[in-house]
Amino acid sequence: MKKKRLNRKKNNPLKFVFTGTQFEKEISLQLFEYSEDSFMELSHLKATDFNNFATKNKQYWLNTHGIHDVEVIENLCKKIGIHNLTIQDILDVNQRPKFQEYENYWFFSLQSILPSETNEINSEQISFILGKNFLVSFQERKADYFTHIRHRLREKTGILHERSVDYLLYLLIEAILDNYFKTIDTIETNTEKFGIIDINEDPSPAILKEIEVYKTQLNHLKKNVNPIKEFITKIEREEFALIDKRHIKYFFELKDLCLTIIDNCEKIENSLSSSIELFFSVQGHRMNQVMKTLTVVSSIFIPLTFIAGIYGMNFVNMPELHFKWGYHIVWAVIIVIFGAMIAYFKRKNWF
C-alpha cells in the first residue's frame, strides 16, 4: 500500500494531517495514576473526559490507542500543553524516528515491530511525551507488548510504582526492543536453511529472491534501531532534568540492547551474503560440470567425424573404397579411437 506523504506546503499551517491507516474504530485512553502508596486506573477513557494531570506529587501514564482522529489528538495535546510541531510529528507516522527536547517536555517517536507468524514485518509508530511527572504514549493500534508493565503497576510488582516516569519510559522502550529480538530470532531460524545447499543439486533462483527479502527486513530493523541508539547516546553525553540520575544506568542498558540488535542483524546479513556466494558457486560448479561433459563428448567425436568426413567425400580414386575389408577396418579404427579417448579421460578424472 502506498504511503501517504505529508504536504508541508499547506495553506493553513495550523491544520494537522494524519498520514497513517485507521486501525481502531475510535480513540480510547487508558490512564494510570500511581505513587509509592497509591494506584488508580481509568480504562476506556474518552478524550473528552480527560482534563489534565491533577496532582504533582503523583506519576501519570496516559496511553492512547488510535491516532486517526486529528481533532481528538489535537484537543488532547492542547490540554497537556504540547507544541504544534509535536502534534504533527505524532500524526505523521511515515517519518524517521526522532527525538526533540522542548521547554517542559520531551518528544520521542520510534517504530515498534509487531510480532507476525508470516515472513512479513509489520510496524507501527509509537510516540512518547515525557514530562516531569507524566508520560503520554500514542499507539496506532492496540497491542499486548505493554501488558507486563500494566501488571506491575496493578500488582505493585518490582520498583516501578516507587520510581518516576522516566523509569517507566525505560520499561516501555525495553518492551519494544524485545519485539525486535523476537523478530530477529524468527528471521535467523528461517534463514538457517540457506546455509545448507547441496552442491549436487541445482538450487532454485527463488532462493535469491527470498534472501533479498530477509536482507531488506534486516536493513529495516537496523534503520529503526539506530535512532533509539542515538537517543540513548544523547542522554549519555548530556544531562537532562527529566532523567533521574538513578535511572541513567537503565538507559545505558537500552543502548547495549540496541548494539546487540544491530550486531545480530549484521551477523545474519553476513550469513545471507555467504549463502548468495555459495549459490553462485554451486551454479558455477554445475555449469563447469555441464561444460566438461560437453567437452568430453565433443572431443571424442571430433576424430570420428574427421574419419567419417574423409570417407564421405565423392572422389573416384579412393583406394580404400574398393578394398574388401575397408569398411570393417574403418569401424575398427573408430572403435579403437573411441575406447582410447574414453580411457584417457577416465584416467584424468574428467567424468
User: Rounded distance, CA 201 to CA 28, Å?
Assistant: 56
User: Rounded distance, CA 339 to CA 187, Å?
Assistant: 54
pLDDT of residue 197: 60
pLDDT of residue 116: 63
* Cα distance from N-terminal residue to C-terminal residue, the chain: 53
User: Rounded distance, CA 157 to CA 108, Å?
Assistant: 27
pLDDT of residue 5: 64
| Number of neighbouring beta carbons within 10 Å of residue 122 | 12
**Closest by CA position to 175, among listed 266, 123, 113:** 113
pLDDT of residue 198: 60
| Number of neighbouring beta carbons within 10 Å of residue 324 | 7
In the chain, where are the structural domains located? 28-282, 311-347
**Closest by CA position to 261, among listed 190, 176, 143, 194:** 176
pLDDT of residue 196: 67
Block means of pLDDT (10 residues each) for the chain, length 351 residues?
A: 58 75 84 90 82 82 91 90 92 88 90 72 90 92 86 90 92 93 90 70 75 90 89 78 86 92 93 83 78 83 84 75 79 87 81 67
Q: What is the 3-state secondary structure (H, E, C) of the chain?
A: CCCCCCCCCCCCCCCCCCCCCCCCCCCEEEEEEECCCCEEEEEEECHHHCCCCCCCCCEEEEEEECCCCHHHHHHHHHHHCCCHHHHHHHHCCCCCCCEEECCCCEEEEEEEEECCCCCCCEEEEEEEEECCCEEEEEECCCCCCCHHHHHHHHHCCCCHHHCCHHHHHHHHHHHHHHHHHHHHHHHHHHHHHHHCCCCCCCCCCHHHHHHHHHHHHHHHHHHHHHHHHHHHHHHHHCCCCCCCHHHHHHHHHHHHHHHHHHHHHHHHHHHHHHHHHHHHHHHHHHHHHHHHHHHHHHHHHHHHHHHHHHCCCCCCCCHHHHCCCHHHHHHHHHHHHHHHHHHHHHHCCCC
What CATH architecture is 28-282?
2-Layer Sandwich (3.30)
Instruction: Find out whether 152 and 159 touch, Cβ atoms under 8 Å.
Output: no
Do the bridges between strand 59-65 and strand 28-34 make them parallel or antiparallel, or are there none, so unpaired?
antiparallel
List the grid coordinates of 331: 569401424
pLDDT of residue 51: 78
